[in-house]
């Protein structure tokens, strides 16, 4: 009798809790549904529009609304034109070249600065703040700063003249009027602005290395190089992969600095993929063609991101296996 009473009491005690849980879940669904719908619309509608327009000849000057683009369907002709577009491929290769140069340089400089800032020294906080300042500058403002610095009669040429003793350097060394020099100037601006990000990420990784391991290695007679290459770097593989992937993707999207400094010139010698797409969109109004290019870029960045994730996963697995060994 006592058992039955206790079980009945338990049932009456748990029933309201179950009902409250159901009501709480239902309320949670009601509250989150509008947000899910809004986010779904924000993602789904632009994606649908991009795919829809990429399969047609429609443009804003055709005199027909966008929803009538089906009248000019060409299916995959835009994609074929994009794959045969020499100017598009040149801009992609130029973007990859910039990415292949600036990302390793930013990584190496950031790593060197992180090594310096691991130890304590006088004025560390001041220098730390100064190093992070470029990252806080708006990219368009940074582009204008370097646009002024690399003028023919600007500070850069004056410094070079004073160091080398060369005369009339301002008329001979036109940074933003020469294809190679203008590309170099843009890369210098990008390195100046985004090296602090690499420095910040790598410094955080170094400060996260267990101090007891470093002390144990010191007691065992390990020098600085042995501690760095056998303890610090192996523990930072995952973090370094993240930093490289982030900067590679961001460097691939380079636009603000390039547009302010050169606008893709002289000619198209500094035209990145972002600058080329911008010109097609707002100057030539080839929206359907741009939609096809955007989908191809998305596919390329997805592959790049997948490779980066694979690298990070491999590094994480190796890190998880190391303690067991």
Q: Of all residues in the chain, what percent carry a pLDDT higher than 90?
A: 23
- How many structural domains does the chain have? 2
Confidence category of residue 46, pLDDT binned at 50, 70, 90 = confident
Residues 100 and 53 in one domain: no
pLDDT greater than 80 at residue 155? yes
100 in the same domain as 22: no
**Does 140 map to a domain?**
yes
pLDDT at 110: 92
pLDDT above 70 as % of the chain: 89
**Tokens 């600065």 identify what position?**
113
Region 20-29 average pLDDT: 83
Q: Are residues 63 and 178 in the same domain?
A: no
Q: Are residues 63 and 112 in the same domain?
A: no
Same domain, 162 and 264: yes
> Is residue 35 located within the same domain as residue 97?
no
Range name among 87-91, 131-135, 191-195, 308-312 with the lowest pLDDT average? 308-312
Q: pTM surpassing 0.85? A: no
36: pLDDT confidence band, cut at 50, 70 and 90?
A: confident
Please list, in sequence order, all residues whose beta carbon lies within 8 angstroms of the beta carbon of residue 127, skipping any fewer than 6 positions away: 117
120: in domain: yes
pLDDT digits (tens, 9 = 90+) for 273-309: 999 999 998 888 888 899 999 998 888 878 877 776 7
| Host H or E run for residue 221 | none
- Please report whether residue 323 resides in a domain: no
In this predicted structure, the answer to whether residue 1 has a pLDDT above a threshold of 50 is: no
| Closest-CA residue to 98 (of 195, 176, 183) | 183
* Any domain includes 281: yes
Rg, C-alpha atoms of the chain:
28
For the ranges 1-10, 31-40, 83-92, the maximum mean pLDDT occurs at 83-92
User: Do residue 40 and residue 147 come from a single domain?
Assistant: no
Dig out the tokens for 291 from the structure: 């939609």
Token pair belonging to 180: 């190679």
Residue 165 has pLDDT above 90, yes or no: no
**Per-residue pLDDT, 207:** 85
In whole angstroms, give the CA distance from residue 257 to residue 275: 10
Domain CATH code at residue 197 = 1.10.3720.10
Cβ-contact 50, 294 below 8 angstroms? yes
- DSSP-assigned letters across all residues of 227-268: HIIIIIHHHTHHHHHHHHHHHHHHHHT--HHHHHHTTT-STT
| Burial label, 299 (beta-carbon count in 10 A; 0-12, 13-18, 19+) | exposed
User: Is residue 111 assigned to a domain?
Assistant: yes
Q: Are 71 and 64 in contact (CB under 8 A)?
A: yes
Does residue 3 belong to any structural domain of this protein? Answer: no
Sorted by sequence, the CB contacts under 8 Å of residue 296 that are 6+ apart come out as 79, 82, 83
* Whether 159 contacts 169, CB under 8 Å: no
User: H or E segment at 99?
Assistant: helix 86-118
d(CA 42, CA 310): 29
**What are the pLDDT digits (tens) for 181-220?**
899 999 999 999 999 999 999 998 888 888 788 778 888 7
Q: Are residues 155 and 179 in the same domain?
A: yes
293 assigned to some structural domain = no
Same structural domain, 34 and 144 = no
In a domain, 297, yes or no: no
Q: Whole domain around residue 36: which residue ranges?
A: 15-72
| Rounded Cα distance, 251 and 191, in Å | 10
Average per-residue pLDDT for the chain = 83
Q: What is the pLDDT of residue 278?
A: 92
What is the rounded CA–CA span in Å between residue 264 and residue 282?
15
When comparing pLDDT for 272 and 69, which is higher? 272
pLDDT tens per residue across span 223-272: 887 888 888 888 888 888 888 888 888 888 889 999 999 988 888 889 99
Q: Indicate if 95 and 67 belong to the same structural domain.
A: no
Q: String of b and e for 135-148 (b: at least 16 CB within 10 Å)?
A: beeebeebbebbbe
Tokens matching residue 139: 């990219």
The whole-angstrom separation of Cα 293 and Cα 291 is 5
Same domain, 26 and 167: no
- Indicate the range of 5-14, 22-31, 141-150 predicted with least confidence: 5-14
Same domain, 129 and 268: yes
Per-residue confidence band for 4, with pLDDT thresholds at 50, 70 and 90: very low
Ordered DSSP codes for 273-299: HHHHHHHHHHTS--HHHHHHHHHHHHH
């Amino acid at each position: 009798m006592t058992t039955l009473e206790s079980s009945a009491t338990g049932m009456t005690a748990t029933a309201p809790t179950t009902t409250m849980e159901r009501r709480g879940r239902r309320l949670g669904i009601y509250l989150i549904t509008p947000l899910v719908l809004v986010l779904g619309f924000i993602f789904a509608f632009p994606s649908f529009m991009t795919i829809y327009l990429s399969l047609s000849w429609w443009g804003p000057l055709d005199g027909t609304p966008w929803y009538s683009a089906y009248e000019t369907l060409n299916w995959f002709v835009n994609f074929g034109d994009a794959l045969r577009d020499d100017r598009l491929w040149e801009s992609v290769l130029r973007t990859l070249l910039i990415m292949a140069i600036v990302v390793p340089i930013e990584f190496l400089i950031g790593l060197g600065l992180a090594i310096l800032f691991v130890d304590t020294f006088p004025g560390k906080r001041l220098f730390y703040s100064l190093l992070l300042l470029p990252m806080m500058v708006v990219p368009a403002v940074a582009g204008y700063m370097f646009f002024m610095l690399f003028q023919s009669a600007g500070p850069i040429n004056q410094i070079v003249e004073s160091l080398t003793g060369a005369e009339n350097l301002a008329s001979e060394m036109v940074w933003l009027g020469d294809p190679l020099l203008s590309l170099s100037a843009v890369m210098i601006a990008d390195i100046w602005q985004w090296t602090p990000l690499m420095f910040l990420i790598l410094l955080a990784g170094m400060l996260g290395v267990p101090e007891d391991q470093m002390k144990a290695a010191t007691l065992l007679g390990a020098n600085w190089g042995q501690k760095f290459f056998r303890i610090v770097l192996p523990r930072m593989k995952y973090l370094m992969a993240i930093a490289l992937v982030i900067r590679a993707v961001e460097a691939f999207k380079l636009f603000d600095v390039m547009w302010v400094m050169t606008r893709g010139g002289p000619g198209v010698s500094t035209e990145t993929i972002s600058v080329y797409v911008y010109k097609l969109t707002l100057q030539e109004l080839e929206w359907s063609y741009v939609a096809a290019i955007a989908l191809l870029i998305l596919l390329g960045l997805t592959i790049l991101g997948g490779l980066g994730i694979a690298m990070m996963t491999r590094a994480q697995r190796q890190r998880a296996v190391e303690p067991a060994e």
